[in-house]
Chains A and B, each alone.
Chain A
């Protein structure tokens, strides 16, 4: 009997919630990703499973090589993350939500229509928001609220885009789309928001680092990479993606260089790496698309490895600021070694997984005679080594002796890190393992003398630059303003001090959303603080608000 593999993880999420026995929960948590992986690889390619809905078919299972590859890495990540999370003693509800998150990500990659994709897209948003909130700090609660606002806004754009696509094509099938209608632009905008593209890149470094040590391992894997999958399937070859991708690449590097918090450095680094994938999608050749796909696959593993090592440090020391860390290699040699392997992988050092995937994207730019893109990607490769390859391990595990002598983390956390580290090296040494399951047949050999030599040169001299300019890299107890400043400070400031919106409610006005509500209440002659408080807490109302606003805009566009 055929059924969508993602359902296994979703059912496991429910079972973990309702079964009280801890050992049974752990057994289910470990078995579900393995079972999911087995099902993904036993379903024949090009299988379709659909349900009838209104006058359309909802394709709840479309099993092709692109979706299968993403579903595979999501299931692997679910397994590695679960091992780590059990070791980190993640609470039951949070663990359950990681299964809803992972299950909906796997399902999103294996559906064939936009409505079903949208449903899983929104389940992912809710589950990931819950994981952020489980950071259990006030900062996490505030970041979770901002996160869900951005993602519900993205969801509203997506739904409106689907409506436009339906009107134009009388179909909801998810296939390659040209950027020739407002509906398609809205769908691309929704995908880009989830990918961490400008002008909404800041949601990622704002929200993810507020989660628990194990929570961020899951967060780093699913949302942005599902967006990359959706872009590769829907909009590969659109030139505009190259510009978005290159912006993300350099934004991630520059902000990470300024950052003091180790997990925020890695969050900026996610934007940077997704930028490489989006650029690959924009180039659009078979090699570029395969490169972006391969890079998503390898990135999920090495970024998880880096975040697991950062999580281990946070768990064992309670500290995440570079300024307070240093010298941890003395008592955490295994964590240090795993971090270095992850750092070498993200820097695309030869014999690591990053090398065999990132080089496909740069080679595609070279073959396509996109010289400026190639130079920028080469510069960015150097920058990746600078901010993630050296800066992160150096300030956390080496530099000065902070005096901290933490032990290695729990055994299961160590096992999860070792598995990810081994995968990084095996894929780097035997790239054909990954190349065989890529969506297109490619004839690409990453290991040539010239290629390896130039990559070594680039990275080693980047390392030299880091140590030569080390005094300039000194960490400070500061944050760096980002575009979230606009909705966290600027809009409320203008509303309060320039537009004087609802002066009576001003003390309660803290963000843009509350300003919008208070403005509406003023127009409706309702001046009740309790009403404001109640409405502010209802995220469903927020979602509906955005949907109504954007649907109105869409209607105006279509019928004007």
Chain B
């Protein structure tokens, strides 16, 4: 393994590229919502047949899951060596299976 100093040499790491990717994402997001005008979404229930349902539903559900997991983490997160104080050891030094 070698270490390169200048990590921004790579095209994907350049600010310009990242800005362009965000613009592409926004355009694709808008196009995906407008596709509801072109195709019948075949929603069989009341809510999922509304315009842009999958967009707000996807965004809302993901935001909810992130916040719920954060809340769970508040109660359930422990230090990495929580179970290792009785003789078990961390696997941080694990290598390939081929050794």
Residues of A within 8 A of B68 (CB): 254
Q: Are A382 and B61 in contact (CB under 8 A)?
A: yes
Q: Are A371 and B77 in touch, CB under 8 angstroms?
A: no
B20 is an interface residue with CB less than 8 A from chain A? no
Residues of A with C-beta under 8 A to B29 = 460-461, 464
A139 CB contact (under 8 Å) in B42, B58, B89, B99: B89
Known: A453-B38, A464-B25. A258 touches B73 (CB 8 A): yes
Q: A383's contact among B45, B61, B78, by CB below 8 Å, is which?
A: B61
Q: Do B86 and A510 touch (CB < 8 A)? A: yes
Contact present for A403 and B3 (CB under 8 Å): yes
The A341-393 residues at the B interface (CB cut-off 8 A) are 366-367, 369, 371, 374-375, 378-379, 382-383, 385-386
Q: A454, B54: Cβ atoms under 8 Å?
A: yes
Give residues 135-157 of A contacting B (CB, 8 Å). 135-140, 142
Q: Once the chains bind, are A406 and B83 in contact (CB under 8 Å)?
A: no
Decide yes or no whether A477 CB sits under 8 A from chain B: yes
Indicate with 1 or 0, residue by residue over B48-61, a CB within 8 angstroms of chain A CB atoms.
10001111111101
Count of interface residues, chain B, beta-carbon cutoff 8 Å: 65
Q: How far is the CB of A21 from chain B (nearest CB, A)?
A: 18
Contacts of A489 in B (CB 8 A): 83
* B62 and A465 form a contact (CB under 8 A): yes
A371 to chain B, nearest CB (A): 5
Indicate with 1 or 0, residue by residue over A321-338, a CB within 8 angstroms of chain B CB atoms: 100000101100000000
Which of A321, A379, A404, A407 has the most chain B CB atoms inside 10 A of its CB?
A379
A466 to B42, CA, bound (A): 27
Q: B47 contacts which chain A residues (CB < 8 A)?
A: 375
Given contacts A253-B65, A480-B73, contact A450 B89 (CB under 8 A): no
> Which residues on B sit within 8 Å (CB–CB) of A329?
10, 12
Flag if B77 contacts A479 (CB, 8 Å): yes
Whether A386 contacts B62 in the complex (CB less than 8 A), given A318-B94, A401-B7, A480-B73, comes out as yes
Question: Is A366 in contact with B98, judged by CB distance below 8 angstroms?
Answer: no
Residues on B with beta carbons closer than 8 Å to the beta carbon of A404: 1, 3
User: What's the Cα separation between A477 and B82 when bound, in Å?
Assistant: 11
How far is it, in angstroms, between the C-alpha of A18 and the C-alpha of B44 when the chains are bound?
A: 60
B12 partner residues in chain A, CB cutoff 8 A: 329, 398
Report the tally of A-B residue pairs with Cβ distances under 8 A. 228
Query: Are the CB atoms of A455 and B54 closer together than 8 Å?
Result: yes
Within 8 A of B (CB), among A42-85: 85
A86-94, A107-115, A526-534: which lies at the interface:
A86-94
Nearest-neighbour CB distance to chain A for B25, whole angstroms, equals 7
Q: How far is the CB of B13 from chain A (nearest CB, A)?
A: 7
In the complex, A449 has a CB within 8 A of chain B: yes
Q: Any chain B CB within 8 A of the CB of A317?
A: yes
- For B39, list chain A residues within 8 Å (CB): 448-450, 452-453
Q: Which residues of B are found within 8 Å of A383, using beta-carbon distances? A: 61-62, 65
Provided the pairs A140-B91, A469-B63 are in contact, do residues A366 and B41 lie with their beta carbons within 8 angstroms?
A: no
Contact (Cβ within 8 A) B97 A481: no
Q: Does A542 contact B (CB under 8 A)?
A: no
Q: Check if B89 sits within 8 Å of A138, measured CB to CB.
A: yes
- Which listed residue, A85, A320, A455, A461, touches B94 by the CB 8 Å rule? A320
**CB <8 Å contact, B76 and A258:** yes
Q: How far is the CA of A209 from the CA of B92 in the complex (A)?
A: 12
Task: With A137-B89, A448-B42, A457-B35 given, name 6 new contacts (CB 8 A).
Answer: A139-B84, A209-B91, A314-B94, A374-B45, A481-B76, A481-B78
Give the interface of A toward B (CB within 8 A).
Answer: 85, 88-91, 94, 134-140, 142, 209-215, 253-255, 257-258, 314-318, 320-321, 327, 329-330, 366-367, 369, 371, 374-375, 378-379, 382-383, 385-386, 398, 401, 403-407, 448-466, 468-469, 472-473, 476-482, 488-489, 510
Q: List 11 A-B contacts (CB under 8 A).
A: A88-B97, A136-B94, A382-B61, A383-B65, A449-B39, A449-B40, A458-B55, A462-B58, A464-B59, A472-B67, A481-B82
Q: Which 7 A-B pairs have the closest CB atoms?
A: A212-B97, A89-B98, A465-B62, A449-B39, A457-B54, A401-B7, A453-B35
